[in-house]
Copies of this chain bind each other. A is one copy, B any other.
Amino acid sequence: MRTSIATVSVSGTLTEKLIAIATAGFDGVEIFENDLLVCPHPPEEIRARAADLGLGIDLYQPFRDFEAVPAATLEANLERAERKFRVMERLGADLLLVCSNVSPASIGDDALAAEQLRRLAERAAEHGIRIAYEALAWGRHVNEYLHAWRIVRMADHPNLGTCLDSFHILSRGSDPIGIEAIPGEKIFFLQLADAPLLAMDVLQWSRHYRCFPGQGTLDVAGLVQHVLNAGYDGPLSLEVFNDHFRQADTGRTARDGMRSLIALEQTLRGAAHPAVPTGFAFAELADAGSLSGVLSALGFTRTGSHTSKPVELWSQGEARMLLNATGADPALVALGLDSPDPARAVKHAETLLAPVLPRERAPQDASLDAIAAPDGTALFFCDTAWLGDFGAPGDSGAVEAAGAAGAAGAAVPIEAVPGQITHIDHVALTQPWHHFDEAALFYGSVLGLHPQESLELPDPYGLLRSRAMSTTPVSGAGATDEAAEATGAAGAAGAAEQVRMVLNIAQVGAGDTPWQHVALASGDLLSVARRLRAEHPELLLPIPGNYYDDLECRHDVDPELRRLGVLYDRDEHGEFLHMYTVTVGRVFFEIVQRVGGYRGYGAVNAPIRLAAQHAGHPKMGQ
């Protein structure tokens, strides 16, 4: 389908916008009037520039407060329209968006609105221009899409059709199935925006919080399906007003918008996601030598050395860490994802404009393809071949395949050993400022992860926003919990077959706290904690006694939690025990135990952790 985007959706000057939009691969643009008004170039130059870039000008918008007015106002409005038609001719645009009148002076009379829109369409026809009439969600009298269509049908002019906008329709809770009552050829244009669910005035919601399809919670794909069923074959055009997009990099936002349309088309095709990972193959940490002691303290052992690179494999149960002796400050640099078909996964990621990373490898190394996540972390799609690149520790020969499977492979389920870590439960990454919505779309479309709880977490110097995503969908309120319960019941080995990511961003203040963490699962966290507390107390993040005074008010918990510094949470499905190491460089570790079907991430305790981490790094990022 033809793809388009309104210039208001991205930041910059009109010229910058057009270049970024063309580079991202769109077929056309909607020229948002204000972008033209502030532009020093006349319409003819914009037209030529767009043509040079291969962009069609699909729509000029918006024309406001036209219809259902007293007769004297109508004449002035028609004169105003004539002047806009002339601008459109200079611009080479032949479709004008007219949004429903919001003026208190407008009249609630459909016949009058229809008659006046017909007059407008007649005038437009003289210029070869068509009019797309849209119901704004906050229109004075017309604010439902079917009401706008009723008026368009009454007006009955070939140059008058309707414009549908997913935000205006879904934000009001209107059922989009009525779209199928509109003949496709009378739907002159389709604008798409998603949004998070917010309890606020719809005008403010629209002006500041719209986002690209797949970034919010509206069922945009479902709406588009109805529009296609109606027979519409015009552009899918993005129109977003978003405070973050206004200030983010123009090219990156445009690419993100294009990704949202590609993902939307994939959703409409209805095929199963071809690249959902089944677990974490490894987490790779850059290191200058300080992490091997931490991993050793956590119970990992060095089980292999890369045959051609300064990379060591550390293993425990199904949890595998690669230490890459780059000499850099300790940081999480890559994740290996168990993939049923790595080549297909990379190809799929490429269709979604994910940057594929060049990789240096020796001729004998396994082929491993990686893409860059929005925060720059490399994501490798793996089968077990990569283990062949590792020999015995300090050795240069490759580990035998059978041995590799025994030491670290995913094929043989590992039983929980008391006091041992079994697998990687989840990985938390800090997203770049302004790119939180990008991350949700990226992990959703590229990896097929489903969004889970989204939370605001206070820290001493600001608020963090956090959203979990995982390969297991969270059932909505009222839906059956069977899928999640099944996963919970499968125990440690089953849980390892999930990929859970936690995406954090410093929403207000708190600097760009660049901390990432790997959460390691244990079937017996208290044993792990006892050993660490006895042997390596310096590695454990101190938890205030005040926390336990409160915890003991709320829950009947084992007093040993206080002594060991273990945090606690519960939900209606089960319990959660967790503890943290101190931060080393840019990374720290969490050890977690899920009891029963607990689904969360202990977010209620995050403020305790954040304050303790700030105490260790006073005013970090300030």
Contact = CB atoms under 8 A, between A and B. Distances in A.
Contacts of A461: 11-12, 246-247
A225 to B, nearest CB: 31
Interface string A1-41: 00000000001110010000000000000000110111111
A463 B243 contact: yes
B608 A544 contact: no
A34 B200 CA distance: 27
Given A37-B550, A40-B544, A13 B246 contact: no
A12 B80 CA distance: 55
A463 B241 CA distance: 11
Closest 4 CB pairs of A and B: A247-B509, A38-B611, A199-B201, A200-B200
A449 to B, nearest CB: 27
B36 A546 contact: yes
A475 to B, nearest CB: 20
B83 A544 contact: no
Given A80-B554, A83-B552, A198-B204, 20 more contacts: A11-B509, A12-B460, A12-B461, A13-B611, A13-B614, A16-B460, A37-B608, A41-B544, A79-B553, A198-B200, A199-B201, A200-B201, A243-B463, A243-B507, A243-B508, A244-B508, A246-B458, A246-B508, A247-B509, A247-B510
A80 B555 CA distance: 10
A607 B38 contact: yes
Nearest to A202: B199
Nearest to A247: B509
Contacts of A550: 33, 37
A444 interface: no
A612 interface: yes
B40 A615 contact: yes
A394 interface: no
A34 B607 contact: yes
A545 interface: yes
A11 B544 contact: no
Contacts of A611: 13, 38-39
Contacts of A546: 36-39, 42-43, 87
A185 B549 CA distance: 32
Interface in A442-500: 458, 460-463
A49 interface: no
B553 A42 contact: no
Contacts of A13: 460, 611, 614-615
Nearest to A249: B622
A84 interface: yes
A257 interface: no
Nearest to A40: B544
17 contacts: A11-B462, A11-B509, A13-B611, A13-B614, A37-B546, A37-B550, A37-B608, A38-B607, A80-B553, A83-B553, A199-B204, A200-B200, A244-B508, A246-B461, A246-B463, A246-B508, A247-B462
